[in-house]
Structure 1
Amino acid sequence: MGRTPCYLYDGSIIHRKCQEVLAMPNAFGIEPRYAMKANSNATILREIVKHGFGIDASSLNEARRARLAGIDPPKIMLTTQEVPVGSDRVALEELMRLGMKYNVCSVRQLELVADFAVANGTRLCIRVHPGVGSGESASRNTGDHYSCFGVHLSDLPQALEFAKTKGIIFDAVHVHIGSGGDPAKWRENIDRELGFVREYFPDAERVSFGGGLKEARMPDEVAADLKELGNYAKQRIQEFYEETGRKLIMEVEPGTYIVANSGYIITEIIDLKRTGPEGFEFLVLNGGMELNTRPLLYGSRHPLYVVAQNGELLSAEGELGHLHPEDDLRVVVGRCCESGDSQSLDSDGNIIPRLLAEPAFGDFVVIGGAGAYCASMSPHNYNSHIQVAEVLMGEDGNLHLIRKPQTLEQIVQNEILLDSTKAYQEKPFGERSLRDQASAY
């Protein structure tokens, strides 16, 4: 199996999911952008762009990171809560000069970018806060009054009046209501957003319905029907054209839908514990919340697979008929000093035992659905654990290392010791220096 823990991604799944999105029915064209916050590895970004996607960046550093991966600025749209000033503002303006699209998300952002945009003839996108949202959990709802993403409808008249006095043109409108929510709410958002475009944005040529396309990680979950959603959007955009004479290009911004089920976390069972006859049986893994914090954050569920050291699949999510609740309910936990370090929790943080085959020390637990918001979001260095390796299985079946494992030296390299003028790595640590220990690792 090689070194564990690690992330493993299946490139053929990424390719298939990209093709599904590109094939969505549309009236006058579809241009998808990949929400790179889902998984920001440079190789993953390049693979997805190669398949015909642009990039949806959620921070200036994400936009910079996409550039470092070799992605051209016209392929990038920046939608961020940040208000870049100083050197960040210089970097923002340079990226905009090179063709990056800026999606205005607040009145202040608009005021700060206005003169630059007018002077350079740059057209802007605007994110509208619709006042209505939908998400797989409360913290993934980005459209209702608990969330501050975008220019709220109550501030829109002020923003539009300011833009008019400056001569700013919005040629794209964006509304994102949340991640993994009800597809019916996604359809409602299409109607709502086209209404905004009709009423407020006479120059709009593009309409972005955001991301949030639901993916099914677990066997009992139902993924978004892209054909059905596409047909609905196509019909409504066609009707908009018949009413106004304006042809709109449709944009979508999937992240989870593209990469979630391409990813697996490969872990090894390092300990087995029990908490008495009335308690639980615990499988202790050599990786947990520092690799996948979604169960702790959201109560999210991930498929779990138990694999013997010889490669035999002992149990697989969705194929558990040979197991028995009275004997085979087990709890998967990690090695962090944190009670919430479990891969099976409800939304209140309570442990939920799962049906799993009885393993032995050294057997493996594979955590599925881990391609999105795991490597990119988890607290890797908690308890001073390292950020682990990432591996891509190409469409040819070959394995490629796309991130080397972090070293302990890299965790501490920016720390400054106030009681010594010596560099951290020169300070003795047992019989060897920290540099030597990190290299040996």
Structure 2
Amino acid sequence: MDHFLYRNGALHAEDVPLAEIAATVGTPVYVYSAATLVRHFRLFDEALEGLDHLVCYAMKSNSNQAVLTLLAGLGAGMDVVSGGEYQRAKAAGVPGDKIVFSGVGKTVDEMRMALTGGVRQFNVESEPEMRVLSDVAVELGLRAPITIRVNPDVDAMTHAKIATGKSENKFGIPIARAREVYAEAAALPGIEVVGIDVHIGSQLTDLAPFEAAYLKVAELTRALRADGHTIRRLDLGGGLGIPYAHSNQAPPLPKDYGALIKRTVGDLGCEIEIEPGRLVSGNAGVMVSKVVYVKSGEGRDFLILDGAMNDLVRPAMYDAHHDIVPVIEPALGLEPAPIDIVGPVCESGDTFAKQRLMPPLSPGDLVAFRSAGAYGAVMASEYNTRPLVPEVLVHGDQWSVIRPRPSVADIIARDHVPDWVRDGSTECDS
């Protein structure tokens, strides 16, 4: 469920007409619903009721400071994958003991930052990383709390670019080698083993891959404890999918996911961490765009918008589907017709949908891309010198710009032209 509904023929975010926001801020623009963010986070928290647990929001899905601060106020931990995200989490008021540091390429500087600033654990992805982390911790007179990410070789049955739990993926260590790697971890002076980490991919729409992975983790937990390791925490990752098309069968609910966790690992006496991102933020946001032209082509028509692939890259990058709906509800009796929906960027890949059934639209009309709150604004760029799309947060009948649109002058001012380029002294001597 989300809070984007038609009222009196106009699409609203909670109690605010999207057209009102577009008229004030311009388009394209991302609009988030605070009520939806809160509801989705609480669904996960409630799903694990009865277990010692922490829901760590995967902030790579949407890392706006207003979103992070809202979730931090609900007690959320944060799953970060870079030093920048770590600093964002701290700036949003998240204490270090609620921050989990993931990612395959942590640098020495990032390790120092988290060790000195406070961290719940590092989810270690390789032996080389573990050895470097031990050295950094020893240098600081500390021990780094770690889980080791195991790769269970489970097919998540999701898009190849967001699958992370198969043997050919870059993430984690093979689960068959886990006991050997944990033995090395126990011998490193700067390392404190606290648990196991697993994450098999994103946008999963079936619980079966989770069950297969978690059963392997349960078996590994027992084996590692038999080897003398203290395994008190299981980080089970995230990845539960959302319905991007309203006609699609809905993925499993958080309560079903929570029941699966209790059934597979709930008897181990471990603290459980999960890292949902997309299901918290995805359906909590829309991107509003304006029709620029309706163009007739050879055998097909095109709806050309002012939003582009640099604003929402998921369709170009993942062939992702987003429901696209008019902001003003079409009149009854208007027959939809197939049309290609595209942006203005000079790339054939700047296509949001092909032959999508849409009601008749005209230049100046507004459309909303549903389920755009995750991996939308965070993946946006300034390609073609198009200013980054602004973000707005709605709460009831209130709304606020939480990231403004920069001007083109701002973009140009970030570049520096050296004096030796301005004065022409780069010309080669003959």
1:37-436 matches, within 5 Å, as: 37-85=60-108, 87-95=109-117, 98-117=118-137, 119-166=141-188, 168-181=191-204, 182-201=206-225, 202-219=229-246, 220-238=248-266, 240-241=267-268, 247-276=269-298, 279-307=299-327, 312-314=328-330, 324=335, 328-344=337-353, 352-378=354-380, 380-394=381-395, 396-418=396-418
Instruction: Report Cα offsets for 1:179-201 as digits up to 9, x if no partner.
Output: 11232111222211111211125
Asked if 1:28 is matched to 2:51, the reply is yes
Helix, strand or coil: the match of 2:415? coil
SS in 1 for 2:307: coil
Q: How big is each residue's C-alpha offset from its partner over 1:122-163, in whole Å with a ceiling of 9 and x where there is no partner?
A: 432221122223152011110102311112235434422322
- 1:436 is matched with none
Q: Structure 1 residues 254 and 284, CA, compared in 2 at 3 Å: closer, same or farther?
A: same
The farther-off stretch of 298-307 and 31-40 is 298-307
Q: Which amino acid aligns with 1:363?
A: D
2:379 alignment partner, SS class:
coil
Structure 1 unaligned residues grouped into runs of 5+: 242-246, 316-320, 345-351, 424-441
TM-score of the aligned structures, taking structure 1 as reference length? 0.83
Maintained 8 Å contact 1:60/1:80: no
Q: Determine helix, strand or coil for the equivalent of 1:161.
A: helix
Residue in 2 aligned with 1:434?
Answer: none
Note closer, same or farther for the CA distance 1:90–1:129 as it changes in structure 2 (3 Å cut): same
Secondary structure of 1:314's match?
A: coil
CA distance in 1, matches of 2:346, 2:41: 39
Check the 8 A contact 2:58/2:276 in 1, yes or no: yes
Q: Distance in 1 between matches of 2:72 and 2:158?
A: 27
- Alignment equivalent of 1:19, drawn from 42, 46, 63: 42
Q: Normalization by structure 2: what TM-score?
A: 0.85
Aligned length: 392
Identity %: 27
Q: Which amino acid aligns with 2:128?
A: R
SS of the counterpart of 1:142? coil
- Give SS of 1:43's match: helix
Change in Cα spacing, 1:103 to 1:225, as seen in structure 2 (3 Å) is same
Whole-Å separation in 1 of the counterparts to 2:407 and 2:200:
39
Q: Structure 2 CA distance, aligned partners of 1:47 and 1:129?
A: 33
SS in 1 for 2:218: helix
Deviations 1:167-213 (A, max 9, x none): 54321211000011232111222211111211125311111210001
Deviations 1:361-418 (A, max 9, x none): 100111110000010113x211110102100001x32111100112223323342324
* AA at the equivalent of 1:397: D
Structure 1 SS opposite 2:330? strand
C-alpha separation in 1, matches of 2:176 and 2:208: 25
| Matches of 2:409 and 2:59, distance apart in 1 | 28
CA contact (8 A) 1:302 1:367 kept: yes
**8 Å contact kept, 2:244–2:321:** yes
The 2-side partners of 1:81 and 1:372 are apart by 21
Native 8 Å contact 1:110 1:159 kept in 2: no
User: Is residue 2:18 matched to residue 1:9?
Assistant: no
- 1:321-373 per-residue CA deviation (whole Å, 9 max, x = no partner) reads 9565xx611111111001011112xxxxxxx2111110111001111100000
Does the aligned pair in 2 maintain the 1:34–1:54 contact within 8 Å? yes
Question: Could you say if the C-alpha distance between residues 412 and 82 of structure 1 is closer, same or farther in structure 2, counting changes exceeding 3 Å?
Answer: farther
TM-superposition CA deviations, 1:244-287 (whole Å, max 9, x none): xxx112111100000101111111101111113xx211111011
The higher relative CO (CA closer than 8 Å, separation ≥ 6) is in 2
d(CA) in 1 for partners of 2:40, 2:400: 20
Question: What is the root-mean-square deviation of aligned Cα atoms in Å?
Answer: 2.2
Change (3 A) 1:135 1:73: farther
Tell me, yes or no, if the aligned pair for 2:155 and 2:165 is still in contact at 8 Å: yes
Task: Report the residue type matching 1:212 in the other structure.
Answer: G
